Amino acid sequence: MVSLMIDGKNTSVEAGTTILEAALAIGIKIPTLCWLQKVSPTGACRICAVEVEGVDRPMTACNTPVKEGIVVTTQSEKLTAIRKKIMELMLVNHPLDCPICDAGGECDLQDNCYGLEVAKPGYSAVLERRPIRYDWKLLESDPNRCILCEKCVKVDHEIVGCDAIAVVDRGEATIIDTVDGKPLNCDFCGNCIAVCPTGTLISKPFKFKGRPWTFDVTKSVCPFCSTGCQIEYHSKDGRVERVTSEDSTFNEGNLCINGRFGYAYLNSPERLKTPMVDKKPVSWDTALSTVAERLKSFPASAVAGIASPRLTNEENFLFAKLIKTTIGSPNLDSEAGLGFSSAINILKNQIGIDGASATIDRIDKADAVLVIGSDLKAESTGIEYRVIKAATKNDAKLIVANMRTVKLRKYANSYLIYKPGSESSLVMAIAKALVDAGCKPAGNGADSFLASLSALSMTELASSCGVDEKSIRAAAALLAGSKNPAVIFGADIIRSNSSAEAVSAVANLALLLGAVGKEAGGIFPIDEKNNSLGMIEMGAVPGDGGLDINGMIDAIENGQIKALYIAGANPLASFPDNRRVKLALETLDLLIVQDILANELTAMAHIVLPGSAAAEKNGSFTTPDGRVQELQNAVNPPEGAKEDFAIISSIIACCSGDAKHQTLEAVSDEIALANPLYGSSVNRTTSAAAFEPIIIPAGTASPELTLLVGASLFHNGTSTLYSENNVSVAAEECIEFSAADAARIGVSDGAGVVVKSDSGSIGSKVKVSDNLQPGLLFASYHSIKLNAASLLAGKANTVAVTVTKA
């Protein structure tokens, strides 16, 4: 600890603390403009100048570490004069367009000028004006308003890892611009807008939507990916017009394109507003009683339900209650049935954990991170930010294993590109190399694990995953000796061809590394949707003897299931082999769809119930790392639509004849009783862990071409397809080919192809990509038009395909 005196107050802080932080800790506020706690200090604005006794110049408090015994003065006539003059210089050539500036009312420059009583133009220079960048998408940049605090550049570089903008040029001409001067081409997370202290970088969709102080601000939780960011909805006249996040939140104010701009789906003209029965608009009473009446007309075993990770815990709980108890059918599942549910079960059985073994902030402080089978940026952007933080700010060794080259590549100390379907082999190869490097498994099943591991041939494992042994050993060497490793795995493991074996292998690896129960790190399953774990924990999973998602489709086809109630999901958009699903659904006697946006599914439903979006309701979501976070309604559902909670609760009431409507509080109490993880003092602790026997799935002849269907950064699920903001920057969906495959097939960028699998065929344009190994194609699943998921089969996210020129 270092002792010092600031403005006559004695204080003691940790070595390395800056004078600014030391002052803040004892309630002394030093003016700042360029300082941003979450990035490296910049020292650009110079207004945090303070005097240190014995030092013959003012020192900037934001980037000067404390020293034992120093005496600091933060307020003096001399300092005030310096700060005022610096502010006067800052105002040289600054446009006085405050009346129409978007930052008016929330501008740090205004606040500081006001605070320091800078009332006159102290200096003058020849006026220079730089063009305003109207040609950027989603953002607008007016460099004339820029004070060069570099916060945007630093957030872009240090947190997001995008490097789209930079400080360019010299002297007065210095501005923040794109690196190449072309229109902005980035992740469009808008975190730069959030940190801009002036009206330089502004949100185009928000521009002129109103003065900031005229909006209602509602704290809530982001409804998109599994990061579970804490957000604020800014709403006026019943419309959400922007989403922000404070730096004091769990996610440190960092969002992604979906979190910041995805809200526009709320205002989509495609929002459902009228209940429909047999394609005719009806009143809510009619709709609800018809649902109850028709549902009851089937034997319970002929009814099935599909729940949604978009719905709140309370809604999922009620929906599970409706299907399983009120109707009495065990046939309940969701898209989590394609892999995430089973992954959660495996982690529970093998490691004794519910979801991730720790909260995701523990990734920040990990000293080694393995990200396997996940394009984190696309699947859960906020978790990628944490991995970047660990790698750059905590010197964590980063090992990334993926079929493709993903954005994390540039941070990786080891990057392993494995063959599709070889996940288990790769994981066991790493485990074997770890043991060879001296890593000793401990705990239940360790001996037999070790024995079966030693029976495996490294050469064979390496050759089956297509990674050379040297690289595998180098990766293991980086992991070996880690005190706090983090193991993160996503869709390519969870939905691999042999996902159970792959997830179990990853769990074994995490046990071998000792990743569970450490100060930092852990094992983290990733899902692209926000409330998958909550939904599972609410019981929205198959009951005893119940059908899972794939089983339901089979059962519909063979006539066993006649009525299906889908709440907040669209199996026609992203489910494997969804053309077959559509044909199956067409045979149903009753299809009830409760959703918020009109789509192919609502068009074919017998009954449509217009529900509500996350911004329009209360309740809670549970992230895969077990954080149960409450959301609050910022706006009401559109006129005619209803909160999902109310819809489901009314249907239960209608079905059971019990007119008593449920309250959120009552349901919360019920949940706490049903699941101790939701009790009063929740502690997700781990129970006994054990290595599971190694199962390496028998290799099948690898197809010439494999199509991988996965997530894209610019969308989350299908709701953002209705957000004009996302749509404006997302490229046209097409199928990506490696240059080698494109050349072999004889196609180039933009050419038309027909891609065919056993499930069907689709037409697409070609995009030649450096990110793919030969033999692997990639398409994102979001586009309903492309519908790449229709080529998939079963649960897997890969499928063998053939390609012909269109």
Residue 414 in contact with another protein, rule: CB under 8 A: yes
| 382 within 8 A of 256, measured Cβ to Cβ | yes
SS (H, E, C) 602-624: HHHCCEEEECCCHHHCCEEEECC
| Long-range residue pairs from 128-137, CB within 8 A, at least 24 positions apart, any chain | 128/93, 128/172, 128/173, 130/173, 130/175, 133/177, 133/183, 133/184, 135/183, 136/183, 136/184, 136/204, 137/183, 137/184, 137/188, 137/204, 137/728, 137/729
Binding mask 237-256 for another protein (x = CB under 8 A): --------------------
Among 11, 64, 254, 464, binds another protein (CB under 8 A): 64
Task: Provide, rounded to whole angstroms, the least separation between the CB of residue 365 and another protein.
Answer: 12
**Part in contact with another protein (CB under 8 A); list of ranges 346-354, 412-420, 493-501, 780-788:** 412-420
Q: Centre a 10 Å sphere on the Cβ of residue 629 and count the other Cβ atoms it contains.
A: 19
Task: Provide, rounded to whole angstroms, the least separation between the CB of residue 481 and another protein.
Answer: 14
Task: Provide, rounded to whole angstroms, the least separation between the CB of residue 800 and another protein.
Answer: 31
Task: Provide, rounded to whole angstroms, the least separation between the CB of residue 467 and another protein.
Answer: 13
| The residue to which tokens 């996040």 are assigned | 245
Cα 682 from Cα 142, distance rounded (Å): 48
Task: Provide, rounded to whole angstroms, the least separation between the CB of residue 612 and another protein.
Answer: 43
Task: Provide, rounded to whole angstroms, the least separation between the CB of residue 500 and another protein.
Answer: 32
The nearer residue to another protein, 78 or 785, going by C-beta atoms, is 78
Task: Provide, rounded to whole angstroms, the least separation between the CB of residue 411 and another protein.
Answer: 7
Number of residues in contact with another protein, rule: CB under 8 A?
A: 57
Residue 59 in contact with another protein, rule: CB under 8 A: yes
Among positions 562-591, residues that touch another protein (CB under 8 A) are none
Output the CA angle 473-369-782, nearest 5 degrees: 110
Task: Provide, rounded to whole angstroms, the least separation between the CB of residue 17 and another protein.
Answer: 10
The nearer residue to another protein, 39 or 729, going by C-beta atoms, is 39
Cα 422 from Cα 402, distance rounded (Å): 11
Among 113, 257, 336, 412, binds another protein (CB under 8 A): 412
- Which amino acid is located at 128 in the chain? E
Residue 90 in contact with another protein, rule: CB under 8 A: yes
157-158-161-165 Cα dihedral, nearest 10 degrees: -10
Q: b or e along 709-737 (b: 16 or more beta carbons within 10 Å of the residue's beta carbon)?
A: bbbbbbbbbbbbbbbebbeebbeebbbbb
**3-state SS of the chain: helix, strand, coil percent to 5?**
35, 20, 45
The nearer residue to another protein, 369 or 651, going by C-beta atoms, is 369
Among positions 351-410, residues that touch another protein (CB under 8 A) are 392-395, 410
Among 8, 10, 27, 56, binds another protein (CB under 8 A): 56
DSSP H stretches of helix in 33-92: 77-90
**Part in contact with another protein (CB under 8 A); list of ranges 122-130, 504-512, 605-613, 741-749:** 122-130
Q: Is 71 helix (H, G, I), strand (E, B) or coil?
A: strand
Cα 225 from Cα 624, distance rounded (Å): 10
The nearer residue to another protein, 475 or 597, going by C-beta atoms, is 475
Among 85, 236, 296, 579, binds another protein (CB under 8 A): 85
Task: Provide, rounded to whole angstroms, the least separation between the CB of residue 26 and another protein.
Answer: 18
Among 1, 25, 26, 55, binds another protein (CB under 8 A): 55
Binding mask 142-171 for another protein (x = CB under 8 A): -----xx-x---x--xx--------x-xxx
Cα 13 from Cα 1, distance rounded (Å): 5
**Part in contact with another protein (CB under 8 A); list of ranges 83-91, 270-278, 285-293, 723-731:** 83-91
Among 38, 67, 296, 744, binds another protein (CB under 8 A): 67
Q: In what order do the strands lie in the sheet with 414-417?
A: 414-417, 397-402, 368-372, 485-489, 522-525
Cα 208 from Cα 205, distance rounded (Å): 9
Among 14, 26, 123, 182, binds another protein (CB under 8 A): 123
Residue 75 in contact with another protein, rule: CB under 8 A: no
Among 71, 89, 217, 806, binds another protein (CB under 8 A): 89
| Burial classification of residue 451, based on how many CB atoms lie within 10 Å of its CB (0-12 exposed, 13-18 middle, 19 or more buried) | exposed
The nearer residue to another protein, 57 or 280, going by C-beta atoms, is 57
Binding mask 14-53 for another protein (x = CB under 8 A): --x-----------------------xxxxxxxx-x--x-
Q: What is the DSSP letter of 544?
A: T
Residue 92 in contact with another protein, rule: CB under 8 A: yes
Report residue 354 as tokens: 């519910």
Among 136, 250, 317, 415, binds another protein (CB under 8 A): 415
Phi, psi for residue 608 in degrees, rounded to 5: -115, 130
Chain contacts with another protein (rule: CB under 8 A): 16, 40-47, 49, 52, 55-60, 63-67, 70, 82, 85-86, 89-90, 92-93, 123-126, 147-148, 150, 154, 157-158, 167, 169-174, 392-395, 410-415
